[in-house]
Chain A
């Protein structure tokens, strides 16, 4: 393999002993973060499953105040975001930054303690929402003190990333580090201006909605999109051994994303009680997101060119490939549904929930799974145990999220068309009849997801404990011939 001459790498990061030292320093914090995170993921999926049943059979577990739909539906998202997505992402970010910079983590215990407090915060937040103390805004339901705990815990972990970056040598060259920096800075910025220093209730009336929308939209953009893309920008060249196709494309994609994404939040209230220019600016910015969508997807596709076989064989690239396609689909859906003529049908329907799941699970979580599959053997010095388990995880998740998003999109369109047709669908009951069969089948999708994550958790535990694989060869999903290089 030919390394491009343009970016010579410092010798320390090529040193195997150095890699192992870095991995050893990160072993405890990352395993701790990830085991807790997948636990929250499982809980979130179970809550989502129960909520989906309640949508078509409202008497299911209907007498329990704590399980009423209006509480567990937002709770499912909060457990997903704060319980699974951010801690798992933080772990991956730490590892990648450490490896790229060739610097080990100084005090492994601190992120563990921070992770513990993070979990305590989320447990508190969960109990608050279940008991009815929701603050009423999407992804901002936790009370302020919970966000204070999360902010402090996050900072304790993220601070290490900055320490490593400061000591490191080559992060300016790394596209992943650009994205991770935005993520690392973005999350505290959001919490500060959306939940701690300022929050929706510090404003009056519709401005509260704008703050809430801005928080939710930017949480997706400043954490999920950036960390997800950073992970993919790392894994593709690292596993395939080929460089990312183009730095210019990466720059264009990066800056256009960071500049335009923040302006798109008002599309959540198209048609609502807002001055029209606010919504128009949001739609205009969403049109401009076509640029990073095209640039980033093209860069990934061109970087994978010649290594597509890895998608079949390497678990990490398999998941990353799915993630790249999902990113493209999610971006496209976001653009199409923001246009007023389409929004006329899709607003207030399950379509927006489908879009959220596209970003949160199909794009972000699959990329994180890919990273975990790559990193764990390096942390503990043992390979994964079974290709079948990885296949089950992948296909269960792929079919699960694919089916769920499809049902929500098509069902949501049906719902929207029904709402717009007041002659044939006079009452809300008539409209929900149009959605009913989609809701019923969605339970199957949730079961796929729960099953796939259960397999993943079991596999993870097996590897950690040391059951299984003795000859320590890397687990591949398929055997491919060595590919001819271009």
Chain B
């Protein structure tokens, strides 16, 4: 009883008479769907084989031995496909600040200032102006341009509680970096900030930071402002280059 073929043309042919009752939607339908007997196209069989092959190959190469403790796909058999690469400086751990030996301490320090793990920039800002009330400025700071001892103390052990810098008060918390940064890294950061943003102070060497680490090895708590002020403003750590006004740099070892 169902109408075959295009029910649409049937319906349209009666539309000239709007008052006539249209056949109900259910009577205008095609029968329920059926399935033809088309055969699998050849290209599809080929594609199936290709997919099976590719998947098998991929699984064969990158399976990591199906072990629960291999996490990198290159640590799979066969090792032939992935000969061990030796990429200089590819070691993780130095973050974005992988230094090359031809960089100056200032360039190195700038990288560490701006990138993890130190990211000094997030608090002290790219301008070195810090954030009022929270993070002291480094630009024009009397601490930054003063003696290396106070700086070594601050960087290694951190600072807590209120502190006055350039006449303004700050109540942030400077983290301790002794476990995260090496002597070389701390020294280069300090060297960088001491000559940036109009600051005019000399280089700080890794030996100096090493000396500070030894001197304060027993200290576990961050410093307070009083501790810093107890140290003379121009106190230097041993092992540095003689403090001179900015002139030609001494050749470094």
Residue among A276, A287, A378 making CB contact with B55, cutoff 8 Å:
A287
Looking at B8, B31, B34, B38, the one whose CB has the most chain A CB atoms below 10 A away is: B34
Asked whether any CB of chain B lies closer than 8 Å to the CB of A243, the reply is yes
Asked whether any CB of chain B lies closer than 8 Å to the CB of A123, the reply is no
Residue among A20, A246, A426, A473 making CB contact with B11, cutoff 8 Å:
A473
B51 pairs with A290, CB closer than 8 A: yes
Min CB–CB distance A428 → chain B (angstroms): 11
**Chain B residues with CB under 8 A of A274:** 71
**Known contacts being A276-B62, A313-B8, is A252 close to B33, with CB within 8 Å?**
no
**Chain A residues with CB under 8 A of B70:** 275-277
B6 pairs with A276, CB closer than 8 A: no
Per the 8 Å Cβ criterion, residues 1-28 of B in contact with A are 1-2, 4-9, 11-12, 15, 18, 21-22, 24-28
A176 pairs with B6, CB closer than 8 A: no
Interface-located stretch among B40-48, B133-141, B143-151 = B40-48
Min CB–CB distance B246 → chain A (angstroms): 28
Min CB–CB distance A463 → chain B (angstroms): 12
**Known contacts being A245-B38, A246-B37, A294-B47, is A273 close to B9, with CB within 8 Å?**
no
Asked whether any CB of chain B lies closer than 8 Å to the CB of A244, the reply is yes
Min CB–CB distance A231 → chain B (angstroms): 11
**Chain A residues with CB under 8 A of B26:** 16, 19-20, 23, 378
Asked whether any CB of chain B lies closer than 8 Å to the CB of A116, the reply is no
A276 pairs with B8, CB closer than 8 A: no
Number of interface residues, chain A, beta carbon within 8 A: 74
B71 pairs with A276, CB closer than 8 A: yes
**Known contacts being A9-B34, A276-B62, A276-B72, is A249 close to B44, with CB within 8 Å?**
yes
B55 pairs with A288, CB closer than 8 A: yes
B40 pairs with A275, CB closer than 8 A: no
**Chain A residues with CB under 8 A of B27:** 16
Looking at A6, A9, A249, A422, the one whose CB has the most chain B CB atoms below 10 A away is: A249
Asked whether any CB of chain A lies closer than 8 Å to the CB of B63, the reply is yes
Asked whether any CB of chain A lies closer than 8 Å to the CB of B64, the reply is yes
B65 pairs with A288, CB closer than 8 A: no
**Chain B residues with CB under 8 A of A14:** 1-2, 31-32
B36 pairs with A4, CB closer than 8 A: yes
A277 pairs with B63, CB closer than 8 A: yes
A246 pairs with B115, CB closer than 8 A: no
Asked whether any CB of chain A lies closer than 8 Å to the CB of B235, the reply is no
| Distance A295 CA – B75 CA, assembled complex (angstroms) | 35
Query: Interface majority SS on A: helix, strand, loop or mixed?
Result: helix
Number of interface residues, chain B, beta carbon within 8 A: 60
A280 pairs with B64, CB closer than 8 A: yes
| Distance A173 CA – B40 CA, assembled complex (angstroms) | 18
**Known contacts being A9-B34, A15-B1, A381-B24, is A276 close to B12, with CB within 8 Å?**
no
Residue among A20, A233, A287 making CB contact with B24, cutoff 8 Å:
A20
Residue among A173, A239, A281, A302 making CB contact with B34, cutoff 8 Å:
A173
Q: What 0/1 readout, one digit per residue, does chain B (45-86) give for beta carbons within 8 Å of chain A?
A: 001101110111011001111111111110110000000000
B36 pairs with A287, CB closer than 8 A: no
Closest-by-CB residue of B relative to A20 is: B26
Asked whether any CB of chain A lies closer than 8 Å to the CB of B96, the reply is yes
| Distance A151 CA – B1 CA, assembled complex (angstroms) | 41
A248 pairs with B58, CB closer than 8 A: no
**Known contacts being A252-B48, A287-B54, is A473 close to B22, with CB within 8 Å?**
yes
B1 pairs with A280, CB closer than 8 A: no
Min CB–CB distance B89 → chain A (angstroms): 14
| 7 shortest interchain CB distances as A-B pairs | A246-B38, A237-B33, A276-B64, A241-B30, A472-B22, A284-B55, A243-B36
Q: Other than A7-B34, A233-B33, A291-B51, give 20 A-B pairs with Cβ distance below 8 A.
A: A4-B36, A6-B35, A175-B35, A236-B33, A237-B33, A238-B29, A247-B35, A247-B36, A247-B38, A249-B41, A273-B71, A277-B65, A280-B62, A285-B55, A288-B55, A302-B38, A303-B36, A314-B8, A383-B22, A472-B21
Q: List 6 A-B contacts (CB under 8 A).
A: A4-B36, A247-B36, A248-B38, A288-B51, A422-B96, A474-B25
